[in-house]
Amino acid sequence: MSEDSSAGAVGRIGVFPVGLDWDKSGGLLPVIVQDADNLRVLMLGYMDREALQATMARRLVTFYSRSKQRLWTKGETSGHVLELVDVQADCDSDALLVLARPRGPTCHLQRPSCFEAAPHATDAVPRKVEPEIGFLAKLDALVAQRERERPEGSYTTRLFEAGVRRIAQKVGEEGVETALAGVAQSDEHLLGEVADLIYHTTVLLHARRLSLTDAVAVLEERHAERTGH
């Protein structure tokens, strides 16, 4: 029995979708991935037969990478895997919808979704698009660039040139100011102090050849240890 003649039209765990039109797009099918819990669109990828088989066998969403010319399991480097819940073919059998549970941010920019403003199914009314926590990835990259290039006139450059002790001192000062703002200042003032603390902490990490990504990995590891997820 061929793989496409297995029983079942919907690819719930262990049931391969039937009648897929692999030839229509040269052996690759576009795959939309949604969060199984809130139906937010997470990303778009492509699967060939082998990638779909691997996805269903391992229960981890696996794509065919057109740039790498090989199978690629989402999160194989970062650990931010997509755990398979369900897979369905569309009405023309030439596209797939995958429902998955993400373990960490799906986007390489540390955002929950590759589509920055993708709505949740629970959004009943239009809402203001909030800044993504993923901006911290941009900050991390910018500080790393400043550390490498040391542009003249940059405050970040001056911090790096002052050395790790001075940077650590600034982190301590900002920490105290944040604590004081937390008990005696306005929300706006507190947010400003927290922003300063995050920035100076990022600089300190890079001065020690570390990054915010490393710190986030520690948080994720602790969360996994406590919750099992």
Query: Per the structure block, which two tokens stand in for 163?
Result: 């050395």
User: CATH number for the domain including 201?
Assistant: 1.10.287.1080
pLDDT tens, position by position, 13-35: 444 566 788 888 788 999 999 98
Q: Which of 42, 74, 43 is nearest to 58 (CA)?
A: 74
- Mean of pLDDT over the chain: 84
pLDDT tens, position by position, 86-139: 898 888 888 999 999 998 888 888 888 998 765 555 444 444 444 556 788 889
User: CATH number for the domain including 90?
Assistant: 3.10.20.810
Domain that holds residue 156: 135-227
Q: Which of 159, 149, 52 is nearest to 98 (CA)?
A: 52
What is the arithmetic mean of pLDDT over 166-192?
96
The pLDDT value recorded for residue 109 is 85
79 shares a domain with 37: yes
90 shares a domain with 30: yes
Residue 112 lies in a domain: no
Residue 122 lies in a domain: no
Residue 128 lies in a domain: no
Phi, psi of 164 (to 5 degrees): -65, -35
Query: Is residue 182 predicted with pLDDT exceeding 60?
Result: yes
139 shares a domain with 215: yes
Report the domain count for the chain: 2
Residue 80 lies in a domain: yes
The pLDDT value recorded for residue 55 is 92
Contacts of 89 (CB under 8 A, 6+ apart): 9, 10, 11, 17, 19, 20, 95, 96, 97
pLDDT tens, position by position, 64-75: 988 888 999 998
Contacts of 142 (CB under 8 A, 6+ apart): none
Query: Is residue 11 predicted with pLDDT exceeding 60?
Result: no
Query: Is residue 8 predicted with pLDDT exceeding 80?
Result: no
Residue 113 lies in a domain: no
98 shares a domain with 8: yes
The pLDDT value recorded for residue 132 is 53
The pLDDT value recorded for residue 38 is 84
Share of the chain above pLDDT 90, in %: 47
14 shares a domain with 96: yes
The pLDDT value recorded for residue 26 is 85
Listed residues 81, 102, 123: the one ending a domain: 102
Residue 221 lies in a domain: yes
Contacts of 23 (CB under 8 A, 6+ apart): none
Could you tell me which residue, 76 or 14, shows the higher pLDDT? 76
Phi, psi of 202 (to 5 degrees): -60, -40
What is the arithmetic mean of pLDDT over 43-60?
92
pLDDT tens, position by position, 208-224: 999 888 888 888 889 88
End-to-end CA distance of the chain: 37
